[in-house]
Chain A
């Protein structure tokens, strides 16, 4: 699954806006000799990016379909991902990242232009960077240990990036847990406290919509096994 020009055209600006935000926060921090606050803000951005990835993933996995405005193509892609999870490891970088890069370019560029406060920039650059690269972290979580770069494996094992085992649980019935895909730090809390189940119940009673995870797994969810090899989690 090779990347095409359009995907490059979206990924490059996305990366650029995040890098600008990072550079601005570092310059502003150096000029004002404030380092702790921007670093702390960056850490909070990293933590919240994981939460955001989980909420978005939960929504996309459970509601809407290919015809849903704005999100339809993403929903269809996620459904396809559940059916053929290993294919994410065969997509090239821009192919995986371009939808998020497009959204973040629009969101982060105005902040790059208007904001000069190092702490805010610190939060924005780390949060947006983690969100944009979450699909790459996700792809690595589908990789096999032997084929992943050792630093990636080390970061997964350290819990800095979402682990292969944790994300593997999301691809097993009942497909209603482990939604976060940046570090996965929120997964245990959200699952143990049934946060998404509570949200699903509220949406059901208020709007009458049932999430996909409530239904018996059908062919849309169930992974198709390859004939030659299937990505296994080690």
Chain B
């Protein structure tokens, strides 16, 4: 199914994207400069691969990108114990929702362990931490157990929520993006941070924001 994204800005220029990402950020961006990632590449705002021109009319859906100041689409997903968890459960407190590529990959392990190691700081700020990837509940369970992760991991099978939130892919759509959202007590996004290859920075940036909320 082809997916149309309404780009907020033209693709005509290659400008570094801003991190944290604001509504004024460019759609087409160089990963490294803005996100301080050391890997230089192009990133597209579309959460799926580029729309492929087709001679037959394709079924399209419009995917809006979640940005600062917006209330993101709600979701209900299964956690590592197979229980359903909704985003609405966290209303009334800040919540850090971080999308990561996959369990048991180097960057994701570093990120999860960094969230674990700073979890007390998140608790002190009254925030919850929720990790989301396309892995199933059993993968999350094993991952959480192996690294003693104290927070919730949600299974976004089929990457539906990732697409709904407009999490951008990296490396020409070959890698699921690594993007973190901080929602305030009212459920409004206050920070969007993207960095594929410096996963620990997600923790620093989110804590910085939480301390100012």
Contact = CB atoms under 8 A, between A and B. Distances in A.
B95 interface: no
Contacts of A197: 106-107, 197
Say whether chain A's binding surface is mostly helix, strand, loop, or mixed: helix
Pairs A-B, 5 closest by C-beta atoms: A194-B197, A193-B38, A202-B174, A193-B39, A194-B39
Say whether chain B's binding surface is mostly helix, strand, loop, or mixed: loop
Contacts of B196: 198
A201 B170 CA distance: 11
18 contacts: A193-B39, A193-B40, A194-B38, A195-B39, A197-B107, A197-B197, A198-B39, A198-B171, A198-B175, A198-B196, A201-B105, A202-B174, A204-B102, A205-B102, A205-B175, A205-B176, A206-B174, A214-B105
What band does the interface of chain B fall in when counting residues whose beta carbon is under 8 Å from A?
10 to 19
B174 A205 contact: yes
Nearest to B41: A198
Interface residues of A, number: 14
Interface in A188-215: 192-195, 197-198, 200-202, 204-206, 214
A206 B196 CA distance: 17
Interface in A110-128: none
Contact of B101 (A176, A193, A205): A205
A69 B102 CA distance: 30
Interface string A213-229: 01000000000000000
Interface string B28-59: 00000000001111000000000000000000
